[in-house]
Amino acid sequence: MKVAPRFLADQPLDRGAPARVSGAELHHLRDLMRLEAGDAVTLIDPTGGGEFAGHIRSVARDCAIIELGMPMVAPTRTPLVLAMALIKGPRMDFIVEKAVELGATELWPIVAARSQMATVGVERRRRWNRLAAAAAKQSLASKLPSIRAPLEFSELVSAPYPDTLALICVPGATPIARVLDDHRPARLMLVCGPEGGFDRSELAAAERAGFVAAGLGRSRLRSETAALAALAVAAAALDAEGS
């Protein structure tokens, strides 16, 4: 069955009211895909409210109006949080985009002792949200992932996480897939470090907080490679459990 093109709505979706698509999404709909009135589309709620089937009522210079149909029923997936130590520039942008494609439902930038940066400007966070939205459309994710404001590592390990298995990536630890063979979490958090990894005090704090050390084999990986490899392994294991 052909999948209807997917677009991000301007505002929260309400089945009782038509929706609008404008800006870059309108350009994609009208100028690139050349869709017209009557064509079927799928709209994604920008606030994480899922997605709806719909069809185009009209296309104008400044917006397209979409009549909404039934909400789409998404397959149940285990929530998957990637808590990633901040790294500089385009490498962090790459992580955001690819993490969403691989199934991350939440992204938590963290400031660790060896992080290469400690603050994130407004424009960079907006860019991350744009990248996440595009990746969600590409990967057929039913909801937009949430991206938190950066938090200190101490904040990460001091908060309670009910019904969550928190894995912290540590070289030489039991492989992630094997750890997940022994657990069936309602929610999974993967904590990945910066170049050079977490320092001893951070690892000790994570252990005291109940975080479980997990590894990725013998290779020494760059931070962005390690984060995405961990996410791919975990997502595949969780999907296998749910199939």
In 3-state terms, what secondary structure has residue 8?
A: strand
Residue 146 tokens read as 């949430």
Residue 241 has what pLDDT? 66
Residue 242 has what pLDDT? 56
Residue 97 has what pLDDT? 94
Residue 148 has what pLDDT? 93
Q: At what angle do helices 122-138 and 89-101 cross, to 10 degrees?
A: 30
Residue 230 tokens read as 């961990």
Which residue, 15, 49, 71, sits at the end of a domain?
Answer: 71
Instruction: Name the stretches of the chain with pLDDT < 70.
Output: 1-2, 75, 241-243
Residue 48 has what pLDDT? 74
**Full-model pTM:** 0.81
1 within a domain of the structure (yes/no): no
Residue 50 has what pLDDT? 81
- The DSSP secondary-structure symbol of 86 reads -
Q: HSE of 116 in the Cβ direction (CA atoms, 13 Å)?
A: 15
Q: Specify whether 139 is located in the same domain as 215.
A: yes
Q: Specify whether 204 is located in the same domain as 169.
A: yes
Full residue range of the structural domain in which residue 126 is found: 80-242
Q: pLDDT tens, 46-86?
A: 887 788 999 999 999 999 999 998 888 776 778 999 999 99
The pairs formed by 54-60 with CB atoms below 8 angstroms and a separation of 24 or more are 54/19, 56/29, 57/18, 59/26, 59/29, 59/30, 59/35
Q: Specify whether 153 is located in the same domain as 34.
A: no
Alpha-carbon torsion 140, 142, 143, 147, what sign? Answer: negative
Q: Specify whether 15 is located in the same domain as 87.
A: no
Q: pLDDT tens, 26-43?
A: 999 999 999 999 999 999
